[in-house]
A and B are shown apart, each in its own frame.
Chain A
């Protein structure tokens, strides 16, 4: 069992009204935007389950957009995130999906597009108490929480890629907390997610990309 801090009980400090529907939503979107090269120009949210039913009254929409804008759960700017997004030229839409019910009740798909035209879709679920999980990236099932510093490597599923990743990280003295490989099917696109204790050093992105089968590297620091 992981350590429960006194601040897990008396916390998070958050903009109300709901730790799952407001704070958790901001955390999910905050993680999603860290995976994109800024600036993000357009974002489309698809809401499922309880999120789809009650998002307005819980400010889930403002919190999600606030997360994309980089606001923490206790940042009052969340309340004005619609106006702030418009000022920054960020387009946004919200679409409730009440037909698909085979998902966790607090689920959101976030489709982001940046100025360079890169597109990414991230699915997150809000587990309660502000805790969240990213469960899908561009259609591939994954699993990480953002509580640890994480490297997300997009790669072709080939022998030797994982060995390259672990070598780069061990040369830089990174202590791995968790490492997992997720793939669609054999030989196709795979995602390695490596979570570490402490911050990840700068520059590992370039070193990781030296392997020809590694297409992209994302660093998500807490």
Chain B
């Protein structure tokens, strides 16, 4: 069982009367190197690492290697504990977790690239927040990861997930598309609604550049992971409400790829433009000395 694009994925879901996560699982069993029980164990381990990296910084904040970030997740949690959160529980927790994962990543902690290290906070951030709020079981959360994996696979296959090739829209943008699609399935939406949500995310994050201060995976990466979570939540809510998406996921992915390739090199992970080239960032970094 395999699919080359979103359209074929939706066809398979229809034919087999199953969800995106089920198609992705069967694809892995049939075409991958590992037996089904090992696939399941490996995904469970990924979830375990995601949870650890999302929650650890709430108790033990750490300074990043480059010194640009550290302690953000704890601040967010403390603010929410004072009943001051503007976002509401799901988004509040999701951004806290997402920023926490990036804090762990930037301090040489253990994370799961999803699809990259620089975008590793989005998928766990949203899924773990949904689990907290809606008491979703770990088994169902694993379904969510397979669903997210299907969207990420299509992006890797038909476009790119490298910031150096396609900008941040290809990293955090794709991560948010993955998270949105998974959230839709976990909340009872259809495969079509999952891919609609993924498409909406790509549309709303189209053109986002990759401009890391000092060339490090810290700033604005961590903040953008939180923004990715918010975009995912917005898109999932729209899809679940039945708001139609005009542009199919495959076309939106191609549009993202085309835009990415037209971004000048300064805005593709070279730290020569965007945030990285602002006077304040340059002063802080001192890297070009």
Q: Which residue from A13, A53, A78 sits with its C-beta under 8 Å from B112?
A: A13
Contact of B46 among A13, A54, A128, A130 (CB under 8 A): A13
Whether, in the assembled complex, A207 has its beta carbon less than 8 Å from a beta carbon of chain B, the answer is no
Choose one: B45, B108, B112, B164; the contact of A17 (CB below 8 Å).
Answer: B108
List B residues 152-203 near A (Cβ within 8 Å): 152-153, 156-157, 161-162, 164, 178
A4-B157, A9-B114, A129-B116 are known contacts. Are A17 and B218 too (CB-CB below 8 A)?
yes
Decide if A103 is an interface residue (CB 8 Å cutoff). Answer: no
Most chain B CB atoms below 10 A, which of A5, A6, A12, A16: A16
Contact, CB under 8 Å: A17 / B217 = yes
Q: Does B149 contact A (CB under 8 A)?
A: yes
Q: What chain A residues lie within 8 Å of B109 (beta carbons)?
A: 15-16, 76
Question: A167 to chain B: closest CB distance in Å?
Answer: 29
Is the Cβ of A17 less than 8 Å from the Cβ of B105? yes
How far apart sit A178 and B24, CA to CA, in the bound complex (Å)?
Answer: 29
A19 adjacent to chain B (CB < 8 Å): yes
Q: A3 to B31, Cβ gap below 8 A?
A: yes
Which residues on A sit within 8 Å (CB–CB) of B161?
Answer: 129
Contact pattern, B 202-216, Cβ under 8 Å of A = 1, otherwise 0: 000000000000111
CB pair A78 B156 closer than 8 Å: no
Interface flag for A1 (CB, 8 Å): yes
Tell whether, in the assembled complex, residue A76 and residue B110 are in contact, meaning their CB atoms are under 8 Å apart: yes
A199-B217 Cα distance, complex, nearest whole Å = 36
Q: Chain A nearest CB: distance from B42 CB in Å?
A: 6
User: Contact mask B24-68 → A, CB, 8 Å, 1/0?
Assistant: 100110011100000100110110010000000000000011100
Whether a CB of chain B sits under 8 angstroms from the CB of A79 is yes
What are the interface flags for A50-76 relative to B under an 8 Å C-beta threshold, 1 for contact and 0 otherwise? 100110111100100000000000101
In the complex formed, the residue of A with least CB distance to B101 is A16
Complex Cα distance, B105 from A11, in Å, reads 13
Q: How many residues of B contact A (CB 8 A)?
A: 51
Q: How distant is B198 from chain A, measured CB to nearest CB, in Å?
A: 13
A8 at the interface (CB under 8 A from B): yes
- Residues in chain B near residue A17, CB distance under 8 A: 64-65, 105-108, 117-118, 216-218
State which of A16, A54, A129 has its C-beta within 8 Å of the C-beta of B106: A16
Residue from A3, A5, A53 with most neighbouring chain B CB atoms (10 Å): A5
Cβ-neighbour of A18 out of B104, B107, B117, B214 (below 8 A): B117
Known contacts: A6-B28, A13-B49, A54-B216. The answer to whether A19 contacts B110 by CB under 8 A is no
Contact indicator A5/B111 (Cβ below 8 Å):
no
Q: Which of A8, A14, A78, A79 contacts B117 (CB 8 A)?
A: A14
**Which B residues lie at the A interface, using CB under 8 A?**
24, 27-28, 31-33, 39, 42-43, 45-46, 49, 64-66, 104-118, 120, 123, 145-146, 148-150, 152-153, 156-157, 161-162, 164, 178, 214-218, 287
22 contacts between A and B (CB under 8 A): A6-B43, A6-B145, A6-B150, A6-B153, A7-B43, A9-B178, A10-B46, A10-B113, A11-B46, A11-B113, A12-B113, A16-B108, A17-B218, A18-B217, A22-B117, A50-B215, A54-B215, A58-B216, A76-B110, A128-B164, A129-B161, A129-B162
